């Protein structure tokens, strides 16, 4: 599919759209109590506004052979239209303007959306360099991130709606589906958005890095006396995971899973639990690797596998990954990645505690 590219103006465009959506959506709350936020009634584009022209509203009157009246002019009424992509989404429980305000893009080219995990942020997860390394190696790729609410310690369904808005906006502005990379909970968030809001929230592929697709048994111990809402949803057998798998059964987006056998939080079989996914295991490339959960964001195999997926329609080629990837990649701050992992764990431990997972959303 021939796609328009997103250029540096996309950051300005998204900011303008967020303000416009906020203006047009104000007051469209869940007045009928059905759990749905009213959809904006008008649509907007993300391109910079073309200056308005003025036109005479009257035909000049001739008062004498020597003089004529100057034509009066009026300005066309200003129009404020919300983003076409976000406006097309139905069933949301959030204000789309909040999600648009959390979306940022840098660089030139086709946008690629990066979704962070539990207790983290775009800056902490992707700022140390993995996103830039992937975009640079792939070429013609802009890095887009979405800051999930409350550092992704709350309801994953709400975070999924943020990603749905981001995908809808990026697909609308770029002219087609966009690739997505999620890390940890970010994989679940992306899958939820794609499963419930395709084709408006349109993804061309999902690169799933260390996603707890079948849950993370380690959280059972953390949740014994209550824990963050998102952790409750990541317990094996949760209602959320069951609903996600049911919704995903109709999805045809290609998935490449990247996992490590020494991931201390997500077992390898849980990361691989996406039907039809292509599997890339770090230790198949680098047998001596001890890459951790956070460390996958500083691993050469992750970068190369993501680039391979981008080059092959979402299906990475494991045979193309060689031993040269076993040395730390340049341009990624591994110490910053490790620090981000520690910060994420700290955010989880200090998050609001709930005794059980949130109820499933009305649209499920």
How do residues 116-130 score in pLDDT, each as one tens digit? 999 999 999 999 999
| Cα distance between residue 301 and residue 105, in whole Å | 24
Asked whether residue 101 carries a pLDDT value surpassing 70, the answer given is yes
Q: What share of the chain is helix, strand, coil (3-state, %, to 5)?
A: 40, 15, 45
CA distance 143 to 235: 31
The reply to whether 248 falls in a domain is: yes
Write down the residue that tokens 């048994």 correspond to. 217
CATH number at residue 287: 3.40.50.1820
Provide mean pLDDT across the span 341-353: 95
Cβ proximity of 230 and 156 under 8 Å: yes
Question: pLDDT: is 206 or 84 the higher one?
Answer: 206
SS3 178: strand
Query: What CA–CA distance (Å, rounded) separates 335 from 219?
Result: 25
| Helix/strand/coil for 104 | strand
Q: Which of 134, 200, 133 is nearest to 166 (CA)?
A: 200
3 pLDDT tier (thresholds 50, 70, 90) = very low
Residue-range definition of the domain harbouring residue 323: 84-349
Looking at residue 85, what is its pLDDT? 86
Residue 166 lies in a domain: yes
> Could you tell me if residue 2 is inside a domain?
no
Task: Tell me, yes or no, whether 49 lies in a domain.
Answer: no
Cα–Cα dist 84/46, whole Å: 8
pLDDT at residue 316 is higher than 70: yes
Sorting pLDDT into bands at 50, 70 and 90, what band is 1?
Answer: very low
Separation CA 88–CA 104 (nearest Å): 20
pLDDT for 29: 41
Within-domain flag for 5: no
- In the chain, which residue ranges form alpha helices assigned H by DSSP? 10-25, 84-87, 96-101, 122-126, 130-138, 156-174, 185-197, 218-222, 229-233, 239-248, 268-271, 282-285, 300-311, 334-349
Q: Are 113 and 166 in contact (CB under 8 A)?
A: yes
Measure the CA–CA gap between 159 and 179, rounded to whole angstroms: 18
Average pLDDT of every residue of the chain? 84
283 SS3 class: helix
- The count of structural domains within the chain is 1
Q: What percent of the chain has pLDDT over 70?
A: 77
Q: What is the pLDDT of residues 321-335, one digit of tens each?
A: 999 999 999 999 999
Domain annotation covers residue 228 = yes
32 in a domain, yes or no? Answer: no
| 13-38 pLDDT, tens digit each | 444 334 334 444 444 444 444 444 43
- Residue 339: the pLDDT is 96
Contacts 24+ apart (CB under 8 A), 283-291: 284/318, 285/318, 285/321, 285/322, 285/323, 285/325, 285/326, 286/323, 286/325, 286/326, 288/326, 289/260, 289/262, 289/326, 290/262, 291/260, 291/262, 291/263
| pLDDT tens digits for range 138-169 | 999 999 999 999 999 999 999 999 999 999 99
User: Would residue 52 count as lying in a domain?
Assistant: no
For the record, the structure tokens of 272 come out as: 């691989």
* pLDDT of amino acid 24: 42
CA distance 332 to 271: 23
């Amino acid at each position: 599919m021939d796609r328009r590219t997103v250029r540096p103006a996309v950051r300005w465009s998204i900011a303008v759209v967020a303000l416009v959506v906020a203006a047009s959506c104000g007051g469209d709350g869940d007045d009928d109590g059905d759990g749905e936020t009213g959809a904006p009634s008008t649509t907007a584009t993300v391109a910079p506004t073309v200056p308005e022209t003025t036109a005479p509203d009257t035909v000049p009157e001739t008062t004498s052979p020597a003089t004529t009246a100057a034509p009066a002019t009026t300005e066309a009424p200003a129009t404020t239209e919300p983003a076409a992509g976000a406006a097309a989404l139905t069933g949301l429980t959030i204000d789309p303007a909040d999600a648009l305000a959390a979306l940022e893009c840098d660089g030139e080219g086709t946008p690629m959306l990066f979704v962070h995990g539990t207790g983290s942020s775009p800056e902490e997860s992707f700022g140390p360099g993995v996103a830039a390394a992937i975009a640079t190696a792939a070429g013609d790729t802009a890095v887009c991130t979405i800051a999930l609410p409350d550092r992704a310690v709350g309801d994953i369904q709400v975070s999924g709606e943020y990603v749905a808005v981001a995908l809808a906006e990026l697909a609308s502005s770029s002219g087609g589906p966009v690739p997505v990379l999620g890390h940890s909970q970010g994989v679940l968030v992306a899958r939820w958005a794609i499963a419930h809001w395709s084709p408006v929230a349109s993804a061309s592929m999902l690169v799933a890095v260390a996603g707890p697709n079948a849950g993370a048994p380690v959280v059972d111990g953390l949740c014994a006396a209550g824990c963050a809402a998102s952790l409750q949803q990541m317990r094996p057998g949760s209602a959320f995971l069951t609903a996600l798998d049911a919704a995903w059964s109709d999805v045809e987006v290609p998935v490449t899973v990247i996992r490590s056998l020494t991931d201390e939080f997500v077992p390898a079989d849980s990361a691989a639990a996406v039907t039809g996914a292509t599997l890339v295991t770090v230790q198949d490339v680098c047998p001596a690797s001890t890459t951790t959960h956070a460390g996958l964001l500083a691993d050469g195999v992750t970068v190369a596998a993501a680039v391979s997926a981008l080059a092959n329609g979402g299906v990475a080629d494991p045979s193309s990954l060689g031993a040269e990837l076993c040395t730390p990649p340049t341009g990624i701050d591994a110490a910053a990645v490790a620090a981000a992992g520690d910060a994420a764990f700290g955010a989880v431990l200090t998050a609001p505690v709930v005794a059980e997972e949130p109820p499933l959303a009305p649209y499920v």
